[in-house]
Amino acid sequence: MSYYKHHIFFCLNQRGNGEDCCARHNAQEAFDHCKARVKSLGLNGPGGVRVNKAGCLDRCAGGPVAVVYPEGTWYSFVDKSDIDEIIDRHLAQGQPVERLMLAPDVGR
């Protein structure tokens, strides 16, 4: 058994050269919302969920992106309701949210 049941990483990368990046798509706001909601639901901590920041995850074309481990499920999201759905279905119930999954061929 691993220390955390689920680990979710949010790309918060900021590119200074004008290239598109997750930071330009409110990734920090989504991260903050996820962290606060996971904590308020009591899902955080050992045996539960860990919400982490990440640098570039190299899937910029689908941004903003987050990835849930140990499954390795990649998500793209638009707003807080998408984040809530990931929390409620995947992180709390173990059911990936297919409509938000990032297509496997989306890269940088």
At 32-64, the pLDDT tens digits run: 999 999 999 999 999 999 999 999 999 988 889
- Residue 108: inside a domain: no
Q: If you average pLDDT over every residue of the chain, what do you get? A: 94
* pLDDT band at residue 8 using 50, 70 and 90 as cut-offs: very high
Q: Is the CB of residue 85 less than 8 Å from the CB of residue 37?
A: no
Q: Is the pLDDT of residue 7 over 80?
A: yes
Residue 65 placed within a domain: yes
Task: Kindly state whether residue 105 falls inside one of the protein's structural domains.
Answer: no
Q: Is there a domain that residue 86 lies in?
A: yes
Q: How far does CA 106 lie from the centroid of its chain?
A: 16
Would 27 be classed as within a structural domain? Answer: yes
What is the domain-level CATH number for residue 60? 3.40.30.10
Q: 5 or 63: which carries more pLDDT confidence?
A: 5
Q: Does position 107 have pLDDT exceeding 90, yes or no?
A: no
Q: Which residue range(s) make up the domain with 50?
A: 6-100
DSSP string, 59-91: -GGG-SEEEEETTTEEEE--SHHHHHHIIIIII
- Single-letter code of the amino acid located at 39: K
Residue with token string 């903050």 = 32
Domain count, the chain: 1
